[in-house]
Amino acid sequence: FGFLHGFNVEEDLVGNLASMSTKERIKAIQKLPETMRKKRDIRNKVLKEITKKSRHRGAQPSCCTQCLQGAAVSFRRFGNTLSEYFHLLRIWHNALKIIGAEFGTSVLSYFVFLKWLLNFNLFSFLINFGFITIPQFLAAEPNNLSFTGLELFTGAGYFQETVLYYGFYTNATISKTENGPSYNMQLAYIFTVGTYFVICFLILLFSMAKSFYGNFVNPQAFSGNASKLLCTWDFNITNERAVKLKQKNLSTQIKEDLTEVNKEVVVFSVMERFVRISVHLLAWVASLGTAVAACTGVYFLSINNLKLFVKGHRNDLESQAAMLVLPVIASLLNALVPFFFSWLGHLERFQTPGQHIYVTITRIIILKMSIVGILCYYWLNIVATSESQCWETLVGQDIYRLVLVDFIFCLLGSFFGEFLRRIIGTTVFVSLGLPEFDIGRNVLDLIYAQTLTWIGILFSPLLPGIQMIAFLIVFFVKKVSLMRNCQPPRKVWRTAQMMTSFMLLLFCPSFLGVLSVTGVTVWRLKPSEGCGPFRGLSSMYAAVSEWIQILEGYTASKWVVWIYQNLITSELFFFILSTIVL
């Protein structure tokens, strides 16, 4: 009898829903306290009931209406199928859910940021490859250099005469047929790079604004303690493993929120405050002194590196190995010094893990951006004025080696910093226990790598593709190392603002610094006479000025000339734009 009663109730529900309008029916089904599968069954029964009634009334739709309805259903099914396939292609989706459940949002924020940078470099690679590299293939001459395998590490030799570097690109107007459409490589090169940086600027601003609004201006719209407990369960989950994962994820998030609410305020005596301030000052003096010493070493090493290039490129093993000295030392400093900074942070004994992480991030960003600044000074003021035939390619090779060696050190950091630390903590010094994932150091490694990629785009257009592959490998290596070698943070804490901090650091000083370097290169430096698309010009920007002079003779292009003269070359326009943005 209970079964019959339930059947009658469902039959009455279907009849009531069938009598409603489409909009009311959709809202009513959404509000039903049932699983998604049950709601779909009810919806299908309602549609069958409506179809049965319409046939009974003789209200047969026209042929045109049937075709439109059939097409709409087909497109909807096709869209759902595509959505399912794209969901399967997001290979990191399940990994992020597991990391968030096991280690909390603080560690998860690193992997979300890494995934975001991976998509960023994919976009950059597609733009450069489509508008710069593919047209160059039409005008490329055969490469007569032999490939030895060492080029994979040095970036020199065979790669010198490929589309990997600036010096290989032609300054001619490419045309496949004699009277067909032409492609100006000079304009394509500078406009592609310029447009990419403008798009990056807008994407970073939008991402920062969105993250800032969600975490600072209106945080309750994105996370609420009561709603998290009562309203966030997904009734569509039926798999037992997925249910346990979701329960663990919600449990971790609620612990983080409760830790934020129940945060204790520790009151120190005057003597304790004096000791703490003294320790902090000594730690800052030690960290800044270490950064200055590292930058001094990189500067003198870079001067010695240039002497190797001026003497000429030799293909013997000793010369090839000498090229790797600068990137190895720079990467070694970037890998080892942050461990020292983390150790200083432990000595300072901050009250919360967030304070420890943010102070460590600040010290590491000072170190890494100082090293990048020294290298940029070396490239723009020493290499660019040297006697080399194609200084842009030399800079591109330097950046290629820095990116590659930094990637290798990143993988070695997972082995020595996490795997060996786990072995020592579980066998030799058991009191140490398992290591925790160092968020600050790992995030700054990503920002440093992305900064090198942005600087290198002008000198090596395909560098984002190399960095994209590196980030993809790093994602899975770090994920495996995290799951096997690390433990969750001992102190659970909420990190809603951490992604905003990452975006801010990526924008300033990283991206704004890169814009400054690119601006000096394009407007102030003289291109090489014998290579690259801007050979023979006083500056890269001179290609745009010459193009505008040609357009002045065409009436239909007067609006382009007006924009150039009144906006692009106007200091007032850039001053107003900078004021609005900043």
For residue 77, being part of any structural domain is answered with no
For residue 457, being part of any structural domain is answered with yes
User: What residues are paired with 174 via a beta bridge?
Assistant: 183
Confidence band of 62 (pLDDT split at 50, 70, 90): low
> In terms of domains, do 499 and 543 share one?
no
For residue 124, being part of any structural domain is answered with no
Q: Which residue has the tokens 């037992």?
A: 240
- Looking at 34, 51, 68, the residue that finishes a domain is 51
Residue 336 host element (H or E): helix 325-348
Residues whose CB is less than 8 angstroms from the CB of residue 49 and which lie 6 or more positions away in sequence, other chains included: 14, 15, 18
Q: What does 193-227 look like in DSSP terms, one character per residue?
A: HHHHHHHHHHHHHHHHHHHHIIIIISGGGT--HHH
The residue among 229 and 443 whose pLDDT is bigger is: 443
With beta carbons less than 8 A apart as the criterion, state whether 460 and 399 touch.
yes
pLDDT the model gives residue 281: 92
For residue 140, being part of any structural domain is answered with no
> In terms of domains, do 513 and 559 share one?
no
pLDDT the model gives residue 5: 47
> In terms of domains, do 562 and 446 share one?
no
> In terms of domains, do 574 and 455 share one?
no
User: Is 52's pLDDT higher than 90?
Assistant: no
Question: How confident is the model over 223-268, as pLDDT tens digits?
Answer: 455 555 555 555 555 556 656 666 666 666 666 565 555 555 666 6
The residue among 59 and 292 whose pLDDT is bigger is: 292
Confidence band of 171 (pLDDT split at 50, 70, 90): confident
Q: 576 lies in which domain range?
A: 539-581
User: Is 569's pLDDT higher than 80?
Assistant: no
Q: At what angle do helices 498-505 and 439-456 cross, to 10 degrees?
A: 30
Tell me the three state secondary structure of residue 307. helix
> In terms of domains, do 514 and 546 share one?
no
For residue 59, being part of any structural domain is answered with no
pLDDT the model gives residue 19: 78
> In terms of domains, do 279 and 411 share one?
yes
Which of 44-48, 68-72, 414-418, 488-492 has the weakest average pLDDT? 68-72
Residue 548 and residue 557: Cα distance in Å, rounded?
9
> In terms of domains, do 487 and 559 share one?
no
For residue 121, being part of any structural domain is answered with no
User: What residues are paired with 184 via a beta bridge?
Assistant: 173
> In terms of domains, do 367 and 486 share one?
yes
> In terms of domains, do 332 and 194 share one?
yes
- Looking at 14, 33, 51, the residue that finishes a domain is 51
Which of 108-122, 480-494, 520-534 has the weakest average pLDDT? 480-494
User: If you ran DSSP here, which 8-state letter would residue 268 be given?
Assistant: P
pLDDT the model gives residue 271: 81
* Number of domains into which the chain is organized: 3
Question: How confident is the model over 335-376, as pLDDT tens digits?
Answer: 889 888 888 888 887 777 777 878 888 898 999 999 999 999
> In terms of domains, do 197 and 221 share one?
yes
> In terms of domains, do 515 and 549 share one?
no
pLDDT the model gives residue 231: 58
> In terms of domains, do 205 and 340 share one?
yes
Tokens of 477: 């290596």
Question: How confident is the model over 185-219, as pLDDT tens digits?
Answer: 899 999 999 999 999 998 888 888 887 776 665 55
pLDDT, mean of residues 410-432: 81
User: Is 1's pLDDT higher than 50?
Assistant: no
Residues whose CB is less than 8 angstroms from the CB of residue 175 and which lie 6 or more positions away in sequence, other chains included: 181, 182, 183
Tell me the three state secondary structure of residue 436. strand
For residue 320, being part of any structural domain is answered with yes
For residue 123, being part of any structural domain is answered with no
pLDDT the model gives residue 4: 40
